[in-house]
Amino acid sequence: MPYTPITSTLGYVLSPDRQQVLMIHRNARADDQHLGKYNGLGGKMEPGEDVATCMRREIREEAGIECTAMRLRGTLNWPGFGKQGEDWLGFVFVIDAFEGTVAADNAEGKLQWVPRERLLELPMWEGDRLFLPLVFDEDPRPFHGVMPYHQGQLQSWSYERL
């Protein structure tokens, strides 16, 4: 049976001084599976998009800014992560530069600049705490991880760098 995950992007926008990361506090919708958690920005890829186009569109839609420089930091396979157990495949980016003024909020919640060293203190998915250090480390190689979930619980974590 072919593997047909939902394809998505996840982006972490750096402030101009590179000391802060733009995060969304998912606090706007009671039915949100991420309710109360902090996430990077991103979402589902649309037909006809490549992952870079998807990332730029999602950042534009969610934060009101235009990406002018970004780097692919890795890929994440989240089997069973969706609300109904759907599989997700994500392309993780760091946005190094942007134009425009960041919106205060969007339909999913409030946008906040968070100091990089305090990211792991935020309420977030358990798995995010495992891969976020790889997003921001100095290793130039992208990471490729697998993070299975079952009924909202992380089952395991593995990755490699190439």
Q: pLDDT tens digits for 89-111?
A: 999 999 999 999 999 999 999 99
Give the per-residue pLDDT at 31: 79
* Domain assignment present for 10: yes
* Domain assignment present for 159: no
* Domain assignment present for 99: yes
Residue 77 pLDDT exceeds 80: yes
Residues 39 and 62 sit within 8 Å (Cβ to Cβ): no
* Domain assignment present for 89: yes
Give the per-residue pLDDT at 20: 98
Instruction: Give the mean pLDDT of 124-136.
Output: 96
What is the span of the domain harbouring residue 24?
Answer: 6-154
* Domain assignment present for 16: yes
Q: pLDDT tens digits for 23-75?
A: 999 887 777 677 789 999 999 999 999 999 999 999 999 999 999 999 999 99
* Domain assignment present for 162: no
- Provide the number of structural domains found in the chain: 1
Give the per-residue pLDDT at 39: 95
Amino acid identity of 47? P
* Domain assignment present for 1: no
Q: Tell me what percent of the residues of the chain surpass a pLDDT of 70.
A: 99
CATH of the domain at 69: 3.90.79.10
Residue 79 pLDDT exceeds 90: yes
What is the Cα–Cα distance from 70 to 73, expressed in whole angstroms? 9
What's the pTM?
Answer: 0.95
* Domain assignment present for 161: no
